[in-house]
Structure 1
Amino acid sequence: MRHLTQIRWRLACGLVAAAICAAPTLAEDTPLSKRIKDCAPCHGPDGNSRTATIPSLAGQPKFFILDQLIFIREGVRPVEAMAPFVKTLKEDEIVALAEHYAALPPKSSDENVDPALVVRGAALALRLRCASCHLPSLVGQEQIPRLAKQRIDYMNEVMKAYRDGRRKGGDSIMAATVFGISDADILALAHYAASR
């Protein structure tokens, strides 16, 4: 009898452990799957944007996504188009979305990358020390975004917004880094980042 109880106990523990360790799947009717569907029209069903001036989320560092969703939800970084989607996000949903998008593989956009601008952008990135925060491969880290394979039009617009003081809730380090940089240089940096 005691042996049978031990077997049942071990079996129960094994089943509980298996349930805890099993990778969650996204059923069609889960709250997370609905949130992901809300993101897909702009950021792409696989997190890789095909929409002009909209960033790809695939492969972004988890903490970067967490920060941005919280900043947008709390109004620190006003993004009018996203406000209706993030205003009701709960903390656990933000974490789940960040983990989901961070785990997706980034893909190059459908934009044409100009090899001459890539060379020019590489020299500028070295001079501006982009790798000191974004890492040499521009994949980002912690709260620093991935620039590699990001959309050219998005990068071009964001760097100009930093330079011109239009990026609200933005990082002052980025504003200082691109201060005084020409539009042509910003475009070259965007091509370089997209090519990585």
Structure 2
Amino acid sequence: MSKITVVTSASHFSKLLSSSSYTIVDFYADWCGPCKQIAPVFAALADKESKPGKIQFCKVDVDSQQEIAQKYGVSAMPTFLVLKSSSVVESIRGANPSALKAAVNKAVTDAARGPAASAAAFKSKGYTLGSATTPSRPVNQGAFAGVSNMLSGNGGLADVLVRFVGLYVISLFAFDSFKAAEESTFNIRAGR
């Protein structure tokens, strides 16, 4: 039994998207030669990687489901989309088995980690722009606190702009621009 769902309507597709974390979609046409070539690869991936509620595979015939194809801007067949909820996270145009496998593996890995892993990645205290500070700088309250912190002190915006323009001008007029930029007083690594 195939683990690929054939989409029959736009409402059917919407229900599918809401029933799984990731949906891998094959936009194909019956008359498309490359679509037929890569179909066994897609079927093998579906049989191996389908996980109810996490990863699902479906096919959309662009001729009978033009509304869906237009919504996702599909203009070449085959096109494979990896959707997380209803947002496109990856798109593969053409019959490219290695790119398709890589995209599916990436989705499978992310789905296996689950929402707890994503939340664990953001456990730091964090800062609020314009009102908080990094430990090395004093708190500067006000609407333009972030701008004034950037413009003042070492490494501020003014310093970055001066260094950029200096390096650009020096490298523009030198015979060996890389060497000139390395030896420039504007080079941060030179420590000057």
* TM-score (normalised: structure 1): 0.23
**More helix per residue:** 1
**More strand per residue:** 2
Higher relative contact order (CA 8 A, sep 6+): 1
